[in-house]
Structure 1
Amino acid sequence: MRRKKPIGKPIFGSPVTDDPDDAPELLEEFFRTAEWRDGDKVIRPGRPPLGDQPKKSVTLRLDADVLESYRALGAGWQSQINADLRKVRKLKAAS
């Protein structure tokens, strides 16, 4: 009887011990292709899907001192510009 050729990279290595009932070593490929779950829900890696009103990318020219002051806030400085514009324009917070 001919042995089947493996498809793709192996995800299991050789058993850790000589005990045939012992689980084999898990290789890096196993973790890279694994499916993450929280109960019955599959968790997909990466950026979550956009909501009902996705943000739009724009090009905006700002004075150097304004840009420096926002960048000095650190991470999330673009979101702070968005929040400040909402406040000035008296817009409701995005849902």
Structure 2
Amino acid sequence: MSISPQRLKALADRTDDRIDYSDIPELDDAFFETARLVQPSQKTQITMRLDAEVLDWFRAQGKGYQTRMNAVLKAYMLTHGKR
């Protein structure tokens, strides 16, 4: 998803008192008692051979296509169990 420069400027110029937080629940002490820090996993750069139409399809989805490819592969891994 892309955001126009005009929209980014409008958001940057907005003061905190104009932000609607009504749909965000307050974080109470109970939340922090069970909260834990989760670090994103480290990525490893590889060389991989793909069918041209597979790569073209993902690239056509726009920026972040490699992240989406990783998400598809991770979902497959989780569905079929880590080995």
Q: TM-score range by the shorter chain?
A: 0.3 to 0.5
Looking at CA atoms only, which structure, 1 or 2, has the larger radius of gyration?
1
Q: Determine which structure has greater relative contact order: mean sequence separation of CA pairs < 8 Å that are 6+ residues apart, divided by chain length.
A: 1
* TM-score calculated relative to the size of structure 2: 0.45
* TM-score calculated relative to the size of structure 1: 0.39
**More helix per residue:** 2
